[in-house]
Amino acid sequence: GIQVEQSPPDLILQEGANSTLRCNFSDSVNNLQWFHQNPWGQLINLFYIPSGTKQNGRLSATTVATERYSLLYISSSQTTDSGVYFCIQDNQGGKLIFGQGTELSVKP
């Protein structure tokens, strides 16, 4: 089945720093999404990005479907950015396939 690998698994940043999170796929990209799971456990939609580049404030994402990866950029990080970031795609059979997540901790 489709494998989704995220890196790094853990990341500690000082407030104000920038970071890049990566998601690699073993098969073609389908309906790729990035989510942020906040410390209260809620999964918040960040981007729906099967290809191309999108930006939303301090966050942006790029998916290169032909090379089977996606990147999430966080600029000028804030403590509220802490949590786990997941990339997810569906396997066209209905299941949402999750990466193992990147746990981000932003220190004041």
Partner 1 sequence: GAGVSQSPSNKVTEKGKDVELRCDPISGHTALYWYRQSLGQGLEFLIYFQGNSAPDKSGLPSDRFSAERTGGSVSTLTIQRTQQEDSAVYLCASSFALGGVTEAFFGQGTRLTVV
Footprint of partner 1 (CB under 8 A)? 30-31, 33, 35, 41-43, 45, 48, 86, 88, 90, 93-96, 98, 100-101
Between 30 and 75, name the residue whose CB sits nearer to partner 1. Answer: 30
Q: How far is the CB of 19 from partner 1 (least distance, A)?
A: 21
Between 19 and 89, name the residue whose CB sits nearer to partner 1. Answer: 89
> 51 is written with which tokens?
């290809």
Between 18 and 31, name the residue whose CB sits nearer to partner 1. Answer: 31
Q: How far is the CB of 104 from partner 1 (least distance, A)?
A: 15
Q: Rounded to an integer, what distance in angstroms lies between the CA atom of residue 97 and that of residue 4?
A: 7
Q: How far is the CB of 35 from partner 1 (least distance, A)?
A: 7
Q: How far is the CB of 69 from partner 1 (least distance, A)?
A: 20
Q: Rounded to an integer, what distance in angstroms lies between the CA atom of residue 102 and that of residue 107?
A: 16
Asked whether 77 and 19 are in contact (CB, 8 A), the reply is yes
Question: How would DSSP label each residue in 32-57?
Answer: -EEEEE-TT--EEEEEE-SSEEEEET
Between 59 and 88, name the residue whose CB sits nearer to partner 1. Answer: 88
Q: Rounded to an integer, what distance in angstroms lies between the CA atom of residue 76 and that of residue 57?
A: 10
